[in-house]
Amino acid sequence: MGTAALTRCGAKPLGSHLFAVWPGSSFAATALPVRCAPGDNLALHVAVAQAPPQSALVVDVSGEPEYGYVDEILAVAARMRRISGIVIDGCVRDVAAIARAGLPVVGAGVSVRTPGHDAGGAVGREVLLNDDRAPTPVRRGDWIVADDDGAVCLPRGRAAAIVSETVEAVAADQRIVDALIAGASTLDLLNLDPSRVAGWEGAGVAAARSAERAG
């Protein structure tokens, strides 16, 4: 299930500023929250060392994003530990090397600044990631889904219901796509009112579309 469809059905977006560091990177996994001290990634190293296989690290950088918290070394270490991916509300570096390692990473930007490795932090405790409206809490065991559109959280206990509703929504979307390919209009399929838009040419447009389908 894609992140856009999941969000429509109750998943919580982790921030429109987050993006896939390399195209095509995606994953779905249970969360291990990580809180880094500002400008320091020691907690990330600890999380990689003890994370369960197939889990995802969800990283809060304490409001100090402008460091390359995830680099080639951490990406390779995470892959060797069979970590599914990382979502970080901060920057990364060594982007090409992260892509070569094949580790899906969703982040807020790229920075060549090197973080420290000694200021502490926390692993396994709830973190807050900021989206456009309000912080989204992420707890250990929540489900995280990431793709080219960003990352979302499915709260534990709600994940099955969200996925079930999303399956139905995706099927409905596919029926609309099939109808569009057959020549239908989004105005008709989505029951939209074009008269609310200045410049709508009215029945002539609808008649022309009908003629095209008939031809």
Residues 72 and 126 in one domain: yes
Q: How does pLDDT run across 3-42, given as a tens digit for each residue?
A: 999 999 999 999 999 999 999 889 999 999 999 999 999 9
pLDDT at 202: 80
Q: Which of 202, 136, 189 lies closest to 3 in space, CA to CA?
A: 136
Element (H, E) at 57: strand 55-60
Residue 206 has pLDDT above 90, yes or no: no
pLDDT at 95: 97
Asked which of 116, 140, 157 is the last residue of a domain, the reply is 157
Pairing between strand 91-92 and 135-138? Answer: unpaired
Work out the percent of the chain whose per-residue pLDDT is above 70: 93
pLDDT at 52: 96
**Residue 180 belongs to domain spanning:** 164-214
Q: Which of 35, 31, 76 lies closest to 57 in space, CA to CA?
A: 31
Query: Quick check: 138 and 130 in contact, CB under 8 A?
Result: no
Asked which of 142, 157, 172 is the last residue of a domain, the reply is 157
Residues 116 and 49 in one domain: yes
Per-residue pLDDT, averaged over 51-57, amounts to 97
Residues 29 and 124 in one domain: yes
Residues 179 and 143 in one domain: no
Residues 124 and 79 in one domain: yes
Residues 137 and 58 in one domain: yes
Pairing between strand 143-147 and 150-154? Answer: antiparallel
Asked which of 127, 157, 187 is the last residue of a domain, the reply is 157
pLDDT at 201: 86
> Residue 195 corresponds to which tokens in the numbers above?
């008269």
The CATH number given to whatever domain includes residue 55 is 3.50.30.40
Residue 207 has pLDDT above 80, yes or no: no
Three-state DSSP state, 167: helix
135 pLDDT tier (thresholds 50, 70, 90): confident
Query: Quick check: 123 and 44 in contact, CB under 8 A?
Result: no
Least confident range of 57-71, 72-86, 179-193, 197-211: 197-211
Residues 41 and 138 in one domain: yes
Residues 149 and 197 in one domain: no
Give the chain's domain count. Answer: 2
Residue 63 has pLDDT above 80, yes or no: yes
Query: Quick check: 149 and 4 in contact, CB under 8 A?
Result: yes
Give exposure, 54-79, as e/b (b: 16+ Cβ within 10 Å): ebbbbbbbbeebebbbbbbebbbbbe
Residue 130 has pLDDT above 80, yes or no: no
Residues 178 and 96 in one domain: no
Residues 110 and 129 in one domain: yes
Residues 138 and 199 in one domain: no
134 pLDDT tier (thresholds 50, 70, 90): confident
123 pLDDT tier (thresholds 50, 70, 90): very high
Residues 69 and 10 in one domain: yes
Residue 213 has pLDDT above 80, yes or no: no
Q: Which of 74, 86, 29 lies closest to 49 in space, CA to CA?
A: 74
H helices of the chain, in order, are 3-8, 42-50, 72-80, 95-101, 159-181, 186-189, 203-214
Residue 49 and residue 18: Cα distance in Å, rounded? 25
169 pLDDT tier (thresholds 50, 70, 90): very high
Which residues make Cβ contacts (< 8 Å) with residue 157, sequence separation at least 6? none
CA 35 to chain centre: 19
Q: Which of 127, 154, 153 lies closest to 61 in space, CA to CA?
A: 127
